[in-house]
Structure 1
Amino acid sequence: MYKAIPKNKDVIIVTNQKDGSLSFIDAANKKIIASWPIHKAVMGTAVLPDHDTIAVYGQNLEVVYLYSLSKGTEVGEWKTGKGITNIIVSSSGKDILLADGQSNTVRLYNKNGTEIAAIPVGKRPMTMVERNNQLYVLNFNDTVLSVVGLKEKRVIDTISTPQSSLGAVIYGNELWIGGHGSGAEINENVYIYEGRSLKQKVSAPQMPVSFASDNEFIYVLSHGSGVLRKIDGNTHKDIAAIEVGANPFAVWLSGTALFVASYDSDEIYVIPTDTMKMGTSIKVGKGPFHMTERKGEEH
């Protein structure tokens, strides 16, 4: 049994890959409120529609583990087999979407944990973003993005993308995607699509792999250079940039604060969106790799 997380707290959930632990940060006061050493080969978490259960996954795990935050206990598991690289919940809250990099499918589960469909996509699906029942799936070992219709439960379109694409955000009618690059060629750009067409490339060296956005700006974290950029969503121009962390993998926006996971220094850096200057740093477990947020119940 682990330390319980109060239901009324907004918490940033950090997955620490090197030591197989979870760290919970109070989003309001930017302090650690609990650490769970679950000792599993974890890659990330997803908050399920009840706002209390989290699904913990990893591509080398045979099952997805379910934990209750308010109880601090494991409450179930889904026997998925190995290969789960990402889990998100659809905006409607009806579908839980699992990217399976081993079977090259997106698997749809309902809220009860029953698998409804397995939809073939490209090679090694990883990043997924969804809006209006359309799921955009980046296939890391492929050169196509799969557009899945959640109502149709099938791929309804494909879009050509660079090899090793990773990280995406939807802004207005645009889809922004990043990636590592392929072979010796490091990716230096964010690719902005409108519909099926590549609209523009925006420079963000090196290896832009994680994104966040608000109503005005896109925040782009470049893993290779350790630079976080603030880009105007309408003009696509850089507003500010800051070097942050050692080998940073993920950025998360909560309110007006950006949280950056620094993999090699075992810290989360907090950067206010208005100043884009270094704020506080929070010591977490070893190898913070992924973040998500559980919004608390209203008092």
Structure 2
Amino acid sequence: MKRCSFVILVCFTFMISGCNNTQSFNVPKTDQPMAIVAHVKKQEITFLDVVQNQVLGSEDSHFLITEMVSIENGTIVATSQSEDSLLLYNIEKRSVSPFLKLNQGLTAIQYDQTSRNLFVTDIVNDQVHQIDMKREELVQSIEVDSYPTDLEFGFDELFVLSGERNHVTVTDLKLQTTLQTFPVLERPSGMYYDGENLWIGGHGSFGELNKRILAYDPNTGREVNEIEVGLMPIDFFGDRNSPYFYVLCHGDHGLYKVNKETNEVEDVIEVGQNPNFVTGNEDRLFVTNLDGNSLSIIDRHSFELIEEVPVATGPYAIILLED
């Protein structure tokens, strides 16, 4: 095993920015669960009632958001490649503040509820940062292969996808040891861990666009399976309780339903133009359509389109607030 190269930051703590850096935004009044959509073409967030499938309103987000994650109690942490800090959105207080200054180029983000640690990829320094959200401080950073763009949790591991080198780095959740590094397909995008194997999608080589998702054994790095799906699979959604996971292909505007046991595509549904993100709950799936300016809502049980909801231009990242 290769030891990681650490950047330990001693006594380097940034608390949430003060009132001078805090900006406000309106939040619609509702008792229903909401989806929040960030728009990449302008500084805007859209609030959607996920019971009635209705847009409740759109507001100035004050930043162009790359990705978001829900922490707890209506708190959202977001990244923006153009900002040198993480962004803290407080839905209850209707405020957003720059939080924990790092540098520009922050991309993917994942939150571990058990340890209350946040993990963020950094494409400028080719690192993954670990942040203790309870203490609101940077714990440490680990160097990975160039241009890390995606994160995925295993049981006790963190998978880091590096798009420039076409590699995955496997590390423990304390970022103490690199357990494995292995090559994957060209121009990779999106990861999903099914409890045994790590599935990866992507655009494929130039001149021969990819129509497959590949499964890798994270212990050995060996490619163990592949499934043919649509053109350019770039995002996944699944959970531990369902026998299915879902693959979003933005080349043919399709969402594919894959059986975990048989490793076969059971169904496909067409969504809007140039879809980029998929998420869901027990009953529904939600897809943002970047060029379609819409949100596709799909019944998870029947796998039928419930509604395609028009939203503001350039919908991108999406999270659900259902507490």
TM-score of the two chains, using structure 1 as the length reference = 0.92
Cα 1:92–1:131 change in 2 (3 A) is farther
**Paired residue for 1:251?**
278
Identify the residue that residue 221 of structure 1 maps to in structure 2.
248
State the alpha-carbon separation in 2 of the partners of residues 186 and 42 from structure 1. Answer: 28
Question: Percent identity of the aligned residues?
Answer: 23
- Return the match for 2:94 from 67, 72, 88: 72
Q: Is 188-197 or 258-267 further displaced after alignment?
A: 188-197
The question of 1:206 aligning with 2:240 is answered no
Which residue in 2 is equivalent to 1:92?
114
- Equivalent residue for 2:58? 35
Give the distance between the partners of 2:59 and 2:287, measured in 1 at CA: 20
CA contact (8 A) 2:171 2:180 kept: yes
Does the CA contact (< 8 Å) of 1:7 and 1:70 recur in 2? no
Distance 1:152 1:176 in 2: 22
CA contact (8 A) 2:100 2:138 kept: no
Does structure 2 conserve the Cα–Cα contact (< 8 Å) formed by 1:173 and 1:194?
A: yes
Deviation at 1:5, TM superposition (A): 6.0
Q: Which amino acid aligns with 2:93?
A: K
Match of 1:102 in 2: 124
Kindly state the Cα deviation for residue 7 of structure 1 after the two structures are TM-superposed: 9.3
Residue correspondence of structure 1 range 56-205 to structure 2 within 5 A: 56-111=78-133, 112-195=135-218, 196-205=221-230
One of 289, 294, 317 as aligned partner of 1:262: 289
Say which SS state the counterpart of residue 66 (structure 1) adopts.
Answer: strand
Across the two proteins, how many residue pairs are aligned to each other? 295
Q: Check conservation: 2:142, 2:175, Cα contact below 8 A.
A: no
Query: What's the offset of the Cα at 1:155?
Result: 2.1
Using the alignment, how far apart are the partners of 2:303 and 2:105 within structure 1?
A: 37
Instruction: Please report how far the alpha carbon of residue 85 of structure 1 lies from its aligned counterpart in structure 2 after TM superposition.
Output: 0.9
CA-CA distance at 1:202 after TM superposition: 0.5
> In structure 2, the residue corresponding to 1:173 is in which secondary structure?
coil
**Which amino acid is 2:119 matched to?**
L
Mapped pair 1:295 → 2:322: yes
Q: Structure 1 residues 75 and 19 mapped into 2: Cα distance closer, same or farther (>3 Å)?
A: closer
Q: Which runs of 5+ in 1 are unaligned?
A: none
Moved more, 94-103 or 36-45: 36-45
Q: Deviations over 1:183-226 (max 9, x none)?
A: 22211110112333211110112110111124111111101111
Distance 1:108 1:268 in 2: 32
1:6 CA displacement:
6.5
1:5–1:115 CA distance, 2 compared to 1 (3 A): farther
Alpha-carbon distance in 2 for matches of 1:250, 1:20: 18
Contact 1:210-1:251 at 8 Å conserved across structures: yes
Q: Is the Cα–Cα contact under 8 Å of residues 137 and 145 in structure 1 kept in the other structure?
A: yes
Displacement, 1:25? 2.0
Q: In structure 1, what is the equivalent of residue 16 of structure 2?
A: none
Give the conservation status (yes or no) of the 8 Å contact 1:250–1:261: yes
1:35 Cα offset (Å): 2.1
In structure 2, relative to structure 1, the CA distance for the partners of 1:125 and 1:7 (3 Å cut) is: farther
3-state SS in 1 of match to 2:69 = strand
| Partners of 2:253 and 2:275 within 8 A in 1 | yes
How far 1:3 sits from its partner (Å)? 2.3
Tell me the distance in 1 between the aligned counterparts of 2:144 and 2:229.
28
The 1:29/1:255 distance shift into structure 2, 3 A limit, reads: farther
For the residue of structure 2 that corresponds to 1:61, the secondary structure is coil
Larger radius of gyration: 2
| Secondary structure, counterpart of 1:102 in structure 2 | coil
1:94-119 Cα offsets, whole Å, 9 max, x none, are: 21001001110000011133111110
Contact 1:108–1:117, Cα closer than 8 Å, also in 2: yes
Task: Give how far 1:132 is off.
Answer: 2.6
Letter in 2 for 1:155: T
Deviation at 1:10, TM superposition (A): 3.0
Q: Which moved more, 1:79-88 or 1:191-200?
A: 191-200
Distance 1:285 1:57 in 2: 20
Q: Partner amino acid for 1:185?
A: E
